[in-house]
Structure 1
Amino acid sequence: MAINELVVYLGSRKNVVGCLGGLVGLALAAFGFGGSWWWVLVVGLYAAGALATPPARAAVALDGESMEPAAIRTDLASVLAHVNAVSGRLPAGAEQRIRETATLLRDVLDRPDALEGAPEQAYAVSRVVRSDLPTSLQTFLARGGTPPAGRARNCSSS
């Protein structure tokens, strides 16, 4: 396993930039900079390059869920079916906001080519449909019937 990590690091952007810094250090040493401490110059420039380079972007964990727009659209339809079933328990304007959000999500899902090259955005859309909307809806419904007193009952003003 350590060899695999070493191979990954050798091909990483951090190592490549560090190596370029080390090469600059060798070039400077060839022109007389650093004297007998040339190796400190090379190691220092390697370390500076490797430390200054941002880490590689983390891959999005998909949790085994499909990122296909059709599967996400199916899940969105089931969320909307649940909204229809509990619409009488939602505050005024909340159902409309959920439907507006669903319309925006459908518009995004109607352009699968836009999501194909952007896994982070596909994951974000999937998360809104599969986690955020259902969780917020369930949290509201679990706390009881009506909105708290003193709070606006119309969700349409932001």
Structure 2
Amino acid sequence: MESRKNLTGSVGGIAGLALTFTGVAGPYWPVVVAGLYGAGALLAPPERPPLPDFPDPSAQLEELREDFDKLSTYLADIELPPAASGRLTELSELLTALLDPGWVAEILAQDPEGVHALSRAVRQDIPEAVDTFVRTRWWTRLTPGTEPPERHLERQLSLLQEEFGRLAATLRDVEARRQESLTRYLEDRSD
């Protein structure tokens, strides 16, 4: 009933009735009304399918916070060497600060690549790095003299910390540019 084709056709049909009452359609008024309805229905633009309902970035961040809590619980049960444990603690603090609800999360929500990078780190990179370390450590005990897996874990955690340090710096720069823009606007307004 409410489709575009039906509404456009109905407008055409009403125009046909108007032509009938003014005497233009004559004895063929049913054909004129039906023809104008059909022409309107054919000329109407097709229905557009609705856009997919994707979760907004703040909902994605909420899910990511929940996953980060699960990851933190998992990591609490893993025994790591002191150096790797320190790196993991620093990385966790940085991720906690980035995922903390508030104005930082609002800025982060505007950066889909940053949200994706955080998601990848929480859901894939960190768990895989720690799990690979645990598995490799077991094999290293069987074959002494090989490179210790702690070095790889420390390097992986360092690389992740560098990546998210750059993300934090980018978010800080966004706010600095916003502040500078406001200053310029106020200066221009006062001139």
- TM-score, normalised with respect to structure 1: 0.48
Higher relative contact order (CA 8 A, sep 6+): 1
Question: Higher helix fraction: Structure 1 or Structure 2?
Answer: 2
